[in-house]
A and B are shown apart, each in its own frame.
Chain A
Amino acid sequence: MKDAPENLGIDHDPVRHPEGCRPGLDCDHWVIRGARLRDPSSGLDTTSDIYLGGGRIVGIGEAPDDWPQDTAEHVCAEGHWLIPGVIDGWARLREPGQEHKASIATESAAAVAGGITTVVMPPDTVPVLDTVAVARYIKRRAQLAGRARVVAIGAMTQHLDGELLAEMAALDAGGCVAISNAHYPFHDLRLMRRALEYAATFDLQVLLQPLDPSLSERGCAHDGAVATRLGLPGLPVSAETAPLAQLIAMISETGARVHVPQLSSAAALKLIERAKADGLPITAGVSAHHLWLTEMDTDALDPNAHVIPPLRSIRDRDALRRGLAEGLIDTVVSDHQPHEPDAKLAPFPETEPGISGLETLLPLVLKLVEEDVLDFERAIDALTTRPAALFGLSDAGSIAVGQRADLALIDPDAMWSLGSIGMASAGENTPFVGWDFAHRVETTWVNGRRVFLREP
């Protein structure tokens, strides 16, 4: 175990990784007593004991026949909620290639601290995730880290350069849960159409983020009143809607299953709504920050509010909230992009875009529940059931006997506020420092192992 995550250096910090959540130290049989089990996918909402063994849920309410009463670990969880672990469908872990920003070890630890048990990584790593070798490397690194499960999305074109198709079928066979060209454009529409046709041959799930490279050139903020006042190069809504309309036309011709990971505008949502009504195999997601922040948050030129797609108008944000509540938007993702401090130490347009979002994904979505924007069932559905279905993770995303024991225990009455110092992620670039939240993840199990325990 030469390159166990403990040897990375970064991992030594005893504050970040208390002994209690070291991998391999915890036992395999758990009984969680008295928690309120809440899983909208099966309509489960009951206070009951739950038994975990061999990485699976083995009993709800009563222990299985061969339960090792003496060696099993007990957790008293009265007053807490137990939900299926969150599946984050779009998060950069920066490894391989950008370990100066973060690593799979640090970020999968941050994920479980935020109740995320499965992280889905886009293929824009260095080298690009366009070969099975890279996919295997990532899987192995995640196993060594021993926190969240990390699954990868393979590249649609070689090096993501949009010119030659990647070996999509091989990537699929090698364990990739979907394919994508990340935020990189195709060289031309013909190649895009062929890539979709090829993917449809094998019924692969495709993820494409519509962003026109010429309309978004230099743009760093929503093309609206705030960017006009600050003199920031604007990124118009048409940079999203124009390529999305093209994509929809291609889907209707090729029948490819396509998911748009991050909508940012009301106009794009309208296109999705129409395409869904036409019965096209299209789904969509939104990042948690687009449900809370708007162009007004770039007003102070805070580089932590620099994201692509940009934070748009209040009307856009409200439309996205409604779309999520109605189920038109299927999933919510973190769009996690951890950065080293230097990446944000420059004038706003020159900073690297992105928010470190793993630890705020679940809190921000549950905050929408508190404010009556969403009901709890829809919130958990968007974070667990729908992404599980999207990525074909049939044994995750719900609480039922036989399912993977990927669970998050939440204290629903913990008043806390986000402090940058307490973050587990290597990236502290978040505009949510100082925000107050009511729900907090206390314990996380992945594959039946306790991988996170919040220190008192």
Chain B
Amino acid sequence: MAVKFVRPKIPKFAPDPWAIQFDDQGRLRHLLTIEGLGPQWITRILDTAEGFVSVTDREIKKVPLLRGRTVVNLFFESSTRTRTTFELAAKRLSADVLNLNLATSATKKGESLLDTLRNIEAMQADMFVVRHDQSGAAHFIARHVAPHVSVLNAGDGWHSHPTQALLDAFTIRRHKGDFTSLRVAIVGDIRHSRVARSQMHVLNSLNVGELRVIAPRTLLPTHVEKLGVRVFHDMREGLKDVDVVIMLRLQRERMEAGLLPSEEEFYRLYGLTEEKLAWAKPDAIVMHPGPANRGVEIESSVADGPQSVILEQVSNGIGVRMAVMSLCMSANRGENA
């Protein structure tokens, strides 16, 4: 008997890998990475967020923009804070929210990513918020998702975490205004950080005055300077005249992988203490994507100190995520142009 093989259609690759974020009329449909957004879209998202941040300050915090829509949090890697802020953002837009923690269930049972996706798509979801431990996962999902679904990247591997970078830019803008005169330093584990990569793209898109990274060589990826940063290995030099200090979380695995000798040595050299913070500008703000390891990358008195805007970042995160969700959804409805 002749067997006829039906070959599944695989979407062709766009020459511009980031073009997939926009629909054929140039409207934002997915948010996967900062790359390709350009200063206009970034500014538009930040401006929209301003309106939502004031909503979150009101007593009744809901607006009906996403009423009747279903947002699914697809978390293939566990996370509490990011998932919670996405959930709150969706709820304040009056959407129905479904949280799926897949780090422990489906994929561990051998279910393929694509099948998980198809199943949830079949439940008439309108938006996927995706976190995955592999770089490129959000792009993969966006490439294969049904045409009515928007995909928001909530962190993929070491690649990208666009909403975090946008909320950081939002927070900086609220405190410092113009970006072109600012010096910003990102400190710590750049190599494994999707947050740092997205911050570099967002700040360079907004034409930041100078962007620095401060870390030992083992925590910097190859050719990091090609991402538009100045490289420092010494905190005193690196923090000089800096307006914004962004600390990154250091994971314990880094010591086991032989990238660092000990937490203590890291803290001594790169941990942000009051003493080291004094090397930056006196009005410098201190940021951290959280959750911070006190005594490893940051001193408690700095994290809770007057220059810290860490908690503000968290609350701004809700407004920024509301902005991104509403912009992407209005592309689905044919509104934003």
Give the interface of A toward B (CB within 8 A). Answer: 9-10, 12-13, 223-225, 227-234, 236, 299-302, 341-342, 344-350, 428
Chain B positions within 8 Å of A344 at CB level = 10
Distance, CA A330 to CA B171, complexed state (A): 58
B40 proximal to A (CB < 8 A): no
Q: Assess the A231–B135 pair: CB atoms within 8 A.
A: yes
Chain A positions within 8 Å of B139 at CB level = 301, 347
A224 CB contact (under 8 Å) in B2, B5, B223, B227: B223
Chain B stretch 88-115: residues in CB contact (< 8 A) with chain A: 112-114
Chain B positions within 8 Å of A227 at CB level = 221-222
Distance, CA A375 to CA B194, complexed state (A): 46
Q: Assess the A302–B13 pair: CB atoms within 8 A.
A: yes
B227 CB contact (under 8 Å) in A228, A299, A300, A301: A228
Q: Assess the B222–A225 pair: CB atoms within 8 A.
A: yes
Q: A225-B223, A302-B13, A341-B8 are in contact. Are A231 and B113 (CB under 8 A)?
A: no
Q: Assess the A347–B113 pair: CB atoms within 8 A.
A: yes
Chain B positions within 8 Å of A348 at CB level = 134-136, 140
- Most central of A225, A231, A232, A300 by chain B CB within 10 Å: A231
CB of A91 to closest CB in B, whole Å: 22
Return 15 A-B CB contacts under 8 Å, by A number.
A9-B3, A12-B3, A228-B227, A230-B159, A231-B156, A231-B197, A232-B136, A299-B17, A341-B8, A346-B112, A346-B113, A346-B134, A348-B135, A348-B136, A349-B136
**Dominant SS at the B interface?**
loop
Q: Assess the A228–B113 pair: CB atoms within 8 A.
A: no
Give the interface of B toward A (CB within 8 A). Answer: 1-5, 7-8, 10, 13-15, 17, 112-114, 132, 134-137, 139-140, 144, 156-160, 194, 197, 221-224, 226-227
Chain A positions within 8 Å of B137 at CB level = 347
CB of B128 to closest CB in A, whole Å: 14
Q: A349-B136, A349-B157 are in contact. Are A228 and B3 (CB under 8 A)?
A: no
CB-nearest residue of chain A to B4: A13
Chain B positions within 8 Å of A300 at CB level = 13-15, 17
CB-nearest residue of chain B to A431: B13
Distance, CA A413 to CA B17, complexed state (A): 34
Q: Assess the A231–B17 pair: CB atoms within 8 A.
A: no
Distance, CA A234 to CA B194, complexed state (A): 15
Q: Assess the A231–B140 pair: CB atoms within 8 A.
A: no
Chain B positions within 8 Å of A302 at CB level = 13
CB-nearest residue of chain A to B191: A228
Distance, CA A231 to CA B132, complexed state (A): 13
Chain A positions within 8 Å of B223 at CB level = 224-225, 228
Chain A positions within 8 Å of B197 at CB level = 229, 231
A301 CB contact (under 8 Å) in B3, B10, B17, B113: B17
Other than the known A225-B226, A345-B144, what 19 A-B pairs have Cβ atoms closer than 8 Å?
A: A9-B1, A9-B2, A10-B3, A13-B5, A224-B222, A228-B224, A231-B159, A231-B160, A231-B194, A232-B157, A300-B14, A301-B17, A301-B136, A301-B139, A345-B10, A346-B113, A346-B114, A347-B134, A347-B135
Q: Assess the A228–B222 pair: CB atoms within 8 A.
A: yes
Distance, CA A225 to CA B226, complexed state (A): 7
Q: Assess the B3–A345 pair: CB atoms within 8 A.
A: no
Chain A positions within 8 Å of B2 at CB level = 9, 12-13
Q: Assess the A230–B113 pair: CB atoms within 8 A.
A: no
Q: A10-B3, A301-B139 are in contact. Are A234 and B134 (CB under 8 A)?
A: no
- Most central of B13, B14, B197 by chain A CB within 10 Å: B13
Distance, CA A230 to CA B2, complexed state (A): 44
A-B CB proximity, top 8 nearest: A231-B158, A231-B159, A300-B17, A347-B137, A12-B2, A228-B221, A347-B134, A348-B136
Q: Assess the A230–B136 pair: CB atoms within 8 A.
A: yes
Distance, CA A229 to CA B159, complexed state (A): 7
Distance, CA A10 to CA B5, complexed state (A): 8
Distance, CA A154 to CA B20, complexed state (A): 46
Distance, CA A128 to CA B8, complexed state (A): 31
CB-nearest residue of chain A to B19: A300
Chain B positions within 8 Å of A341 at CB level = 7-8, 10
CB-nearest residue of chain A to B227: A229
Distance, CA A86 to CA B3, complexed state (A): 31
CB of B231 to closest CB in A, whole Å: 12
CB of B21 to closest CB in A, whole Å: 13
